[in-house]
């Protein structure tokens, strides 16, 4: 099998997809528009896309799974700053004095995700 999409339940699919499109640089599908119940951001192959689907209930608990992102063009700290400017909020800061660690953020609908150090910061 091939993982085709990761699906996120949400209240406003187009708005949340637009936020994640800005975060990732991946485009919102040309087939989707504001008001749609399902909106896809298209990842570069072979990475699965992220599909946002409208559901009637709001988020009530911690995510059972979440994204861990590793920057490729910026440092972890620069990436956190950029994503906060796009509308995310810092939820938990796990950065340590030695430069290790990660930051857990919340997207505009409260879904948790993490920003880790990039390869250059890891020395790999």
What tens digit of pLDDT does each residue of 16-32 get?
Answer: 999 999 999 999 999 99
Give the residue-averaged pLDDT of 97-104.
95
pLDDT greater than 70 at residue 124 = no
CA dihedral 114, 118, 123, 124 (to 10 degrees): 100
pLDDT greater than 90 at residue 90 = yes
What per-residue confidence (pLDDT) applies to 23?
97
pLDDT greater than 80 at residue 13 = yes
What per-residue confidence (pLDDT) applies to 10?
96
Kindly state the tokens that stand for 40.
């896809």
- Confidence (pTM): 0.92
pLDDT greater than 90 at residue 60 = no
pLDDT greater than 90 at residue 106 = yes
pLDDT bucket at 81, cuts 50 / 70 / 90:
very high
């Amino acid at each position: 099998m091939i993982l085709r999409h990761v699906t996120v339940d949400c209240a406003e699919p187009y708005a949340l997809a637009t936020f994640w499109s800005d975060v990732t640089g991946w485009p919102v599908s040309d087939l989707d528009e504001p008001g749609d119940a399902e909106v896809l951001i298209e990842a570069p192959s072979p990475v699965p896309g992220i599909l946002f689907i409208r559901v009637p209930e709001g988020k009530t608990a911690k995510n059972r799974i979440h994204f861990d992102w590793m920057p490729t063009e910026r440092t972890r700290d620069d990436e956190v700053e950029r994503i906060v400017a796009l509308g995310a909020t810092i939820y938990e800061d796990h950065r340590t004095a030695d430069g290790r660690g990660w930051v857990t953020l919340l997207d505009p609908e409260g879904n948790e995700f993490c920003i880790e150090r990039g390869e250059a910061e890891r020395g790999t």
